[in-house]
Structure 1
Amino acid sequence: MENRKGESPMPVFDLHCDTLTAFMSPLRCRDTLNDPCSAFALSKVQTIPWCQCCAVFVPDGLTPQEALSYYRYHRDSFQRQVQGCQGQALACTTAREVSAAWEQGKTALVLTVENGSLLGAGLEHVEELRRDGVRMLTLTWNGENALGSGHETDHGLTPLGKEAVRALEETGIVVDVSHLNDAGFRDVLDIAQRPFAASHSNARAVCAHRRNLEDWQIQEMVMRNCIIGLNYYSPFLRSDGEEADFDDLYRHICRFLELGAEDCLALGSDFDGADLPPCLDDCRKVPALAEYLMDRGLSHSLAEKLFWKNALDFTQKNWR
C-alpha cells in the first residue's frame, strides 16, 4: 500500500481500541487481535507501521475482586496471543520497543486498561499492572467505581481515586481521563504531577457530548504536555444523529489546533468498542484519512504529528 506520492504508508499510533475484550462469543475467533471480523486485526495492518494500544475493557457493575479477575483473564489472553504471533507483532512497553518493532516490520501492541475499578481491590495491584506491561489506565468507565465517576454522574474522585492517581504516576502508568466527568477531571488537575492522557476523546465545542473535552480541559492538557486521541464514534463527532465522515474529524482537529494542541493531538479510534462510521469502520481505511486531511490543507508534517509522532514523543517522555 502506497500513498499518493508513491511513498511508504504513514505510520499509525492508535491510543485506544477494545478489540482484546470485544469478542467473547464462541462464534467469533478466539484470537481476538487477529479476527478478520474485527475493525482492528493484525493481518490487516501488516503493510503499515502500526502501534495499537489494546485495552482490557472492564465493564461497570463488577465488584473490585471480580474486576481484578476479569482483568487477569484478558491479560493472559493478550500475552498468549502475542506469544502466538511473534512473526507479526510484539508487545511493547517503551517508545524504543515500538520503534524496534516497526524496524522489524511488526506491529507494536501495548496493553492498557479501561476502567480502574479493579484498584478497589487494593492499590498494591498498581505494581501488578506495571509488571504486566500496562502503560495507561482510565480511572473510570461511564458509571461510578471505587475511584470516582464517569460522565454519567457528577461526583469527583474518591479519596482512593486520588491516592490511585499518585500511585499510578509513581509506578509509571499514565493516568487516562477519557470517560471521567468534569469534577473528576478537576481533581486530576489538582493532583497530577506528570502529563496524562485522554486516549479517546473529542472536542465538546464541536460535538456537545459529555464524553468530549471542554475547551478549558483541552487548554489545561496542552499546558501540561498531555496527549489526546481522536475518537471515531459518530455520536462523539457530531450531535445530529447522522453518521460521521472525515469532515467531522477535520472539524474537531481544527478546534484542537485553535486551542494550541498541535503537539498534543493523536488518534484514539475506539475500534471494536463502538459502532464506527463507514469511513473508519476498518483499520485499513485509516490511511485514507491522512490523505483527506492533507487534501484539506493540513501539512504533511502536521499529519505525521497527528498520526504517530505526537504519540511516540509522549511515550518516549512518559513511559518509564
Structure 2
Amino acid sequence: MPASAVFDLHCDTLTAFMDPTRCRDTLDDPLSSFALSKIPQGVSWCQCCAIFIPDGLTPKEAEGYYAFHQRSFIRQMGCLSSQVLSCRTADDICQAWDCGKAAVILTVENGAALGGRLERIERLARDGVRMMTLTWNGENELGSGHETDRGLSSFGKAAVQELERQGILVDVSHLNDQGFEDLLDISEKPFVASHSNARSVCGHRRNLTDWQIREMAARGCLIGLNYYSPFLRSDGCPAGLEDLYRHAAHFLDLGAENCLALGSDFDGADLPPCLDSPIKAAGLWDYLTGRRIPPTLVQKIMYQNALNFFRAGL
C-alpha cells in the first residue's frame, strides 16, 4: 500500500462550473479547489466525483442533466487519461495508484437523477456510478433532505433495495432524521454518509447525531468528514484544523475508528483556507499525527477505511 494516500468521498468539481469561459475539463481546472494537477507529488489520490442534480428540476430535466454530465465525465477520463483512471472497484483504485495515476469514482448527489423510475438505477450502474445520495436539501421522489421532516417515500424505499441489488452504495448525507430511521428498517448492506460531520459538535441539521453515528459504526458503515465551515462550527467563523480535529475525535469516541474517512465537499462549498486544496488536505496526515492520533489510525482516516469499505461493498 502507498506510504501516503488520500481517499476523498465527495466533491462537486464535475458539475460546479458551467461558465463557458472556464476550462471544459472541470476535473483539471486550475481555478477549482480540486484539480488533478493540484494533487501533491508522491500522494496516491482517490476522488469520488459527484454528478450533482439540483433540486426543483422536472424528472425529464433531471435525467438530461445527469446524462450531460455523465458524457462530460467519460470525455474527461479520455482526455486526461495520462493523469487519471476511472475506477469501479478497490482493485481498480490500487491499479491506478500502481500506475502513478489518480483514481476517480463516479457518484451521484440527489436521487432526482432517477426521474422517479426504478429502471434508471440499472442505467446508473452500467455507467459506473458507485454511490448515490438519496436526496439533496429539499424533497424529491425518494424522500426529503434536511430542509423538511418527511422520511422516505414508498418509491424511495424501493429505490434503496434496488440500489443495493445493483451494487450502488446508498449515501445518507443530506437525508433528514426520519429518512435515516426509515433506511435503517430496510437496508441490508452498510451504507455511507459521504460528507457529514457530528451534530453534537456543530448543531447543523446536515450533521449526524450521536445515535446515528453509533448505529453506522455498529453496521460497518462509512462516514466522510466535511470541510465546510458551517458544518464544522456554529459561530459563523471560518473553521480551522482544530475544528476538524474536534469532529474526528468525537467520531472516534463514539466507536467510529473503522468507519471514519474524508469527504471534503471540494467545489461544492466555500471551504476554509486551511482545507481548500488537495495539498492542504494531504497535510492532514501530519496534522492529525501531531495531535497524537496514532499513525495507524490516521492511515485509516486518510484512506484505509474507505478502501476497505469499497473492497467489501463493491
| Short-chain TM bin | over 0.9
State the AA in 2 paired with 1:123.
L
Q: Does 1:306 align with 2:282?
A: no
Given candidates 245, 257, 265, the residue that maps to 2:252 is 257
CA RMSD of aligned residues (A): 0.9
State the AA in 2 paired with 1:56.
I
- Secondary structure of 2:280's counterpart equals helix
282-291 or 159-168, larger mean C-alpha shift: 282-291
Q: Which residue of 2 aligns with 1:282?
A: 277
Determine if contact 1:178/1:199 at 8 Å carries over to the other structure.
Answer: yes
Shift of 1:209: 0.2
Shift of 1:27: 2.2
Q: Which residue of 1 aligns with 2:115?
A: 120
State the AA in 2 paired with 1:39.
S
Cα distance in 1 for residues equivalent to 2:311 and 2:97: 15
Given candidates 199, 213, 217, the residue that maps to 2:212 is 217
Cα distance in 2 for residues equivalent to 1:158 and 1:113: 19
Cα distance in 1 for residues equivalent to 2:275 and 2:22: 21
Question: TM-score if structure 2 supplies the norm length?
Answer: 0.98
State the AA in 1 paired with 2:202.
C
Determine if contact 1:65/1:121 at 8 Å carries over to the other structure.
Answer: no
Shift of 1:287: 2.0
Given candidates 144, 157, 165, the residue that maps to 1:162 is 157
Shift of 1:39: 0.6
State the AA in 1 paired with 2:5.
P
Q: Which residue of 1 aligns with 2:134?
A: 139
Q: Does 1:39 align with 2:56?
A: no
Q: Which residue of 2 aligns with 1:12?
A: 6
Cα distance in 2 for residues equivalent to 1:26 and 1:309: 38
Determine if contact 2:28/2:36 at 8 Å carries over to the other structure.
Answer: yes
Cα distance in 1 for residues equivalent to 2:3 and 2:33: 19
Q: Which residue of 2 aligns with 1:5?
A: none
Evaluate the alpha carbon distance shift between residue 235 and residue 183 of structure 1 in structure 2; reply closer, same or farther with a 3 A threshold.
same
State the AA in 2 paired with 1:32.
T
Cα distance in 2 for residues equivalent to 1:124 and 1:64: 13
Count the aligned residue pairs.
312
Given candidates 199, 205, 222, the residue that maps to 2:200 is 205
Given candidates 68, 80, 95, the residue that maps to 2:63 is 68
Cα distance in 2 for residues equivalent to 1:308 and 1:155: 34
Q: Which residue of 2 aligns with 1:29?
A: 23
Identity of aligned residues (%): 63
Any stretches of 5+ residues in structure 1 without a counterpart? 1-7
Shift of 1:286: 1.2
Q: Which residue of 2 aligns with 1:172?
A: 167
State the AA in 2 paired with 1:107.
A
Given candidates 238, 243, 253, the residue that maps to 2:233 is 238
In the TM superposition, what whole-angstrom CA distance separates every residue of 1:110-148 from its partner, at most 9, and x where no partner exists?
000000012233100100000000000000000000000
State the AA in 1 paired with 2:28.
N
Q: Which residue of 1 aligns with 2:289?
A: 294
Shift of 1:9: 6.1
Cα distance in 2 for residues equivalent to 1:134 and 1:288: 29
- Secondary structure of 2:115's counterpart equals helix
Determine if contact 1:116/1:140 at 8 Å carries over to the other structure.
Answer: yes
